Each structure stands twice: as structure tokens, then as C-alpha cells.
Amino acid sequence: MYEQVRENIFRIEIPLPRNPLRALNAYFIKGQDRNLLIDTGFNQEECRQVMDQAMQEMGFSMEDTDIFITHCHSDHAGLAGYLAKPQTRIFTGDYTAQDISRNHDFFVYFDNLVRQGGLLEMGLTQNPAAHPGYRYRTNEIDANSISIVQDGTVITVGDYSLNCILTNGHAPDHICLYDENHQILFSGDHILGTITPNNTTWDEPWEIKVDYLDEYLKSLAKIEALDIELTLPGHREIIADCYHRIKELRSHHDKRLQNALDVLGENTMTAAQVASKMEWDLNIKNWEEFPTAQKLFATGEALSHLSHLVCKNILNKELRDGVIHYHK
Ligand SMILES: [Zn+2]
Ligand SMILES: [Zn+2]
């Protein structure tokens, strides 16, 4: 359930039941006055139980602990509101800060994804409760207990000096933590070992204010320039060689872009139609049998790839009855 990975650094495996991610890696760093917990798990009973038990077994208390959230996804931010004590500081990027203090309208984001992405016309429910990010979101957090970090902010915990590295792409204002002396990177969901971080669009897909895939690839280059001996990711196994993994992630996205172009061919299609014909790393062959949440993630991913191709002037798009259609 938990293991020590370096002096005063512990990895706590929080199960994510009925979710293909299987588990979240939370990291606990023991400090002198204050400890730091990096990421938390869904706001779900199974996660709460395992976190409470791990803290008890390790002999640590949330009274002496601050929380760092790498990004807004509920598998990382979900338990923050439950765990935080009145004296707990919650460190995170600006987008996540707005999200956990309820300044974002999830319904607008969800509606754009479902409607403009073409899922609604494929018969998908418009109920946001189908989205685990909404269902297992954190209890509302008072903005006064949040310290917004920027690229370059340093958080000191015991012997560790953690530099905040802005790594946009997987989520807006995603932050990795990097200790230069110990050459340790807490990579959140920016770099994962055996699974590929999901990319999506975060604004209205028709408008595309940011090419998130482009941001993601730039953020990979930012990490590649650091000296890293140990990478501690948000899911699955610890990564020994993050430089090799970065190369694999780049080539993965090249293949996905080509896959989207091949699926589209000479046709005009919505993001959901493209997603339904792309190759997915799931044990389900038939799109009709994809669980609703996976249809949402797959369409978001297709939207990020198609939007990137539009930004690169490789594809065109048009809006028909509020649904985006892509073609060459
Ligand atoms: Zn994530
Ligand atoms: Zn995650």
C-alpha cells in the first residue's frame, strides 16, 4: 500500500476502483516542521479509506501536512478537500486553484465536448455525472487556503527543494516538481511509464485558443533538458529512464496524428466519429461497448489531435448545427 522510495519520500498507492487507470501514486515527503503530500486520489470511499490507513500506518498526520496538487483531474485533486485541515496549505497552479474553489463551470466544458465533439448526435447522454472527474471531484476548497504556484516557485520540505515546472498539455497549468540536488522529478500525469497521458481540449473546441498537443510536446522538451535520475509518476511504476520515455511519447503522438489522418481519409467527420474508428489501447474492440467515460476521453483525445492538425493547416474544420466537422 505504501513504500519508501528515497529518504523521507514515500509512495502511497491509492486504488481507483472500476477505472482503467487502476491506481494513483500519491507521494508523501516528511519534512521538519511541515510535511508535503503530492496528489490525493478520487473523492471516493475506497480512496479515503486507503489514504487514511496509510497515513496512520506511517504515523503521519494531516495536521502537520500541506498538499501539492499537480493538476486539476479528480484522481489527483479529489481528496484534497477531505484531507485538508484548517492549517493545511494547498499548493497548486492557477487553473487547478480556480477548479477546486469552484470558479470553473464544468457544465460548459462538458457541453462543448459532448456537443461540438459530435457525441450528442451519436446518442451519448448529456449527463456530466457520467464523467468521473465530476462525480469524484473534491469538496469545495476555500480560496484562502490555496497558494497558487508559478513556473519557478520553490517549495522546501526537509532536505528537498522542489522547483515548480509548468508543464502544460495534459491539463492546463499542470505542474511537475523537480529537485535539482537529488535529481528527482515528480511528473504528475505529464510523463507516465506504461500508459500514455491523455490529451484533450480545454476551451471551446471550435475556438481553439490553445493547441494543447503542441503545448504538451513543448513541455516534454522542457523536462528533457533537466538532469533526472528518478521519475515519480502519478500512475503505475516508477520510471528509471525518463529520456527514453519522452522519445516514446513523442513517437506515440506522431502515430496517433497519422492514425487520425488515415481514419479521416477523404471524408468529413466529427471528432467522435474519428475516435470511434481510431485504435485504442483498451480490451474492448467495439466502440458501442466503450463505457461512457471512455467515449468522452477518446473523443477529447481525438479533438486534441484534430485541433493540432487544424492549427498546423493540415486539416480544415466547419461548424454544422453546433457540431465540428473535420476534413482535408
Ligand atoms: Zn490527469
Ligand atoms: Zn491521473
pLDDT value, residue 275: 96
Distance in Å, CA 320 to ligand 1 centroid: 31
The pLDDT-based confidence of 106 (bands split at 50, 70, 90) is confident
Distance in Å, CA 172 to ligand 2 centroid: 13
The closest alpha carbon to 19, from 275, 278, 235, 245, belongs to: 235
Neighbouring residues of the ion ligand 2, judged by CB less than 5 Å: 75, 189, 234
Domain boundaries, the chain: 2-113+128-258
* Cα gap 21→24, rounded to integer Å: 8
Cα distances (Å, whole numbers) of residue 77 to 132, 138, 167, 173, 303: 12, 6, 17, 13, 24
- Cβ atoms 178, 185 nearer than 8 A: yes
The closest alpha carbon to 65, from 105, 26, 117, belongs to: 26
Amino acid (one-letter) located at 106: F
Distance in Å, CA 198 to ligand 1 centroid: 7
* Residues 256-282: tens digit of each pLDDT: 999 999 999 999 999 999 999 998 877
Look at residue 66 and give its three-state secondary structure: strand
* Residues 78-104: tens digit of each pLDDT: 999 999 999 999 999 999 999 999 988
The pLDDT-based confidence of 45 (bands split at 50, 70, 90) is very high
* Cα gap 236→170, rounded to integer Å: 17
* Cα gap 166→128, rounded to integer Å: 29
Distance in Å, CA 133 to ligand 1 centroid: 10
The pLDDT of residue 285 is above 80: no
* Residues 207-234: tens digit of each pLDDT: 888 899 999 999 999 999 999 999 999 9
Ligand nearest to the CA of 21: 2
Burial 202-222 (b: 16+ CB within 10 A, else e): beebbebebbbbbbbbebbee
Instruction: Let me know how long the chain is.
Output: 328
* Cα gap 218→303, rounded to integer Å: 19
Instruction: Name the CATH topology of 2-113+128-258.
Output: Metallo-beta-lactamase; Chain A (3.60.15)
Neighbouring residues of the ion ligand 1, judged by CB less than 5 Å: 73, 189
* Cα gap 52→239, rounded to integer Å: 26
* Cα gap 232→242, rounded to integer Å: 10
Backbone angles phi, psi at 171, to 5 degrees: -150, 155
* Cα gap 157→36, rounded to integer Å: 7
* Residues 13-24: tens digit of each pLDDT: 999 998 889 999
Q: Of all helices (H) and strands (E), which one includes residue 301?
A: helix 292-311
Distance in Å, CA 144 to ligand 2 centroid: 25
Ligand nearest to the CA of 16: 2
